[in-house]
A = this chain, B = another copy of it.
Amino acid sequence: MNDLQTRMNAALEEYNLDAVVAISLENVYYLSGAWIMTQKDIPDRLAIVVWPRQGEPQLILCANEESLAQRDSRISAIHNYVEFKTSPIARLADVLRAQGLDGARIGFERKYLVAEYYDELLRSMPNATWSGADRLFDEVRMIKSEEEIALLARAALITDGVIWDAFQMARAGRTEQEIGSFMQMQMFARGAYGGIFLVLGAGDAAGITHPSPRPRPLENGDVLRVDFGGIFDGYLADLARTMVVGHASQAQRDTYARLWQVQQETIAAVLPGVRASDVYRLCERRAAETGLDFSMAHIGHGLGIGLHEHPMLSPRTDTLLEESMAIAIEPTCRNSDGSRFHIEDLVIVRAKGPEIVSRAGQWEKLHEAI
């Protein structure tokens, strides 16, 4: 909590803000330690953290979430509102005024607060100066503590083990749904908290970016691609793997070997001080030189409580990499048969060189279900 206070205070100083207001599940969890699951399922029901430059942080939530917050929150100043009776924004305005922030400079999550609440906020606090603080939160969260890195590495290794085991059973005749159900069930059996996402496509669906498993049986020669993850103790796994059902063709092996090589070279460039866009450019250039059919808007992203955290490895991200960032590196390419190959690993930025924390299985060579 002390480290968090230091980081938040420095960020508030840098952005010249008197306070920030967090409303996303990710930032509320990061700041309070309380995981309010309904923030995603029931978006109307806001949970809010006010983090002032001076004074104590404040937590505002729906009355029926208060018992959970009292148990789990590190923030002890808790305020509630009764749903359908008092608007969460009206309650927020009360709390801000009580903190002497009526005419203050306040940052909020422009990328999360919805138009209805945004208009109400501007009306309720006309003397405050509001500005987007999404970037402030991105920058605070993009540097992980060793505790966060340990949680991310654990989530990644478990998830990779599940994929590895699923690929052992992905033989002709089994359906995509059988493989997918096994994967999802294994995540819970091995400790996932929830938030499972599963992209799984084989054969004619292996060229679609985000397909869901179908009842279709696998056939020999199918490319099978998964992009898979879930939440363990509040932190996400996100990994992609590609295999061939039965014996792979020489062309398939060759595409995989080249993509693996490009991913390895891209990972090697993940060093403190390197610009995120330069990692993208390197990957793009090497993919072209290697003859891969490459076309991606980004080739990686920060990972943490959120799925696409800062920095995105896109051609437009100026951010310099720093120690203790956790970055998913995920080049994909299209094979001549129309399928998509995809390899995604989690890399920690270290002074001594990139640390890959996501390989429980043997992925150097294209996996074949022989």
Taking Cβ atoms with an 8 Å cutoff, the residues of A that contact B are: 35-38, 40-44, 62-65, 67-68, 71, 82-85, 108, 110-116, 118-119, 132, 134, 180-181, 184-185, 188-189, 193-194, 196-199, 207-212, 297-298, 307-308, 312, 314-317
Question: Whole-angstrom distance from the CB of A89 to the nearest CB of chain B?
Answer: 12
B40 close to A40 (CB less than 8 A) = yes
In the complex, A266→B329 CA distance in Å?
A: 54
Chain copies in the assembly? 2
B193 close to A194 (CB less than 8 A) = no
* Residues on the B chain within 8 Å of A297, using CB: 62-64, 82-85
Option from B63, B114, B116, B181 in Cβ contact (under 8 Å) with A188: B181
For A36, the closest partner residue in chain B by CB is B210
In the complex, A112→B44 CA distance in Å?
A: 9
Option from B42, B208, B316 in Cβ contact (under 8 Å) with A67: B208
For A181, the closest partner residue in chain B by CB is B188
In the complex, A259→B8 CA distance in Å?
A: 47
A208 close to B71 (CB less than 8 A) = yes
* Residues on the B chain within 8 Å of A180, using CB: 188
In the complex, A316→B113 CA distance in Å?
A: 24
A/B interface sample: 29 pairs, CB < 8 A? A38-B210, A42-B307, A43-B112, A62-B297, A64-B209, A64-B297, A67-B207, A67-B208, A67-B209, A68-B209, A71-B208, A82-B297, A84-B316, A85-B297, A85-B316, A110-B114, A110-B116, A110-B119, A111-B116, A112-B114, A114-B118, A116-B132, A116-B134, A118-B118, A181-B189, A184-B188, A184-B194, A194-B197, A196-B196
Question: Whole-angstrom distance from the CB of A338 to the nearest CB of chain B?
Answer: 10
In the complex, A113→B113 CA distance in Å?
A: 8
* Residues on the B chain within 8 Å of A84, using CB: 297-298, 312, 314-317
* Residues on the B chain within 8 Å of A181, using CB: 188-189
* Residues on the B chain within 8 Å of A82, using CB: 297
* Residues on the B chain within 8 Å of A315, using CB: 84
For A113, the closest partner residue in chain B by CB is B115
For A198, the closest partner residue in chain B by CB is B194
* Residues on the B chain within 8 Å of A196, using CB: 194, 196
Most chain B CB inside 10 Å of its own CB: which residue of A43, A113, A134, A180? A43
A114 close to B116 (CB less than 8 A) = no
* Residues on the B chain within 8 Å of A44, using CB: 111, 308
In the complex, A92→B41 CA distance in Å?
A: 26
For A45, the closest partner residue in chain B by CB is B308
The 4 closest A-B pairs by CB, nearest first: A185-B185, A115-B118, A83-B297, A110-B116
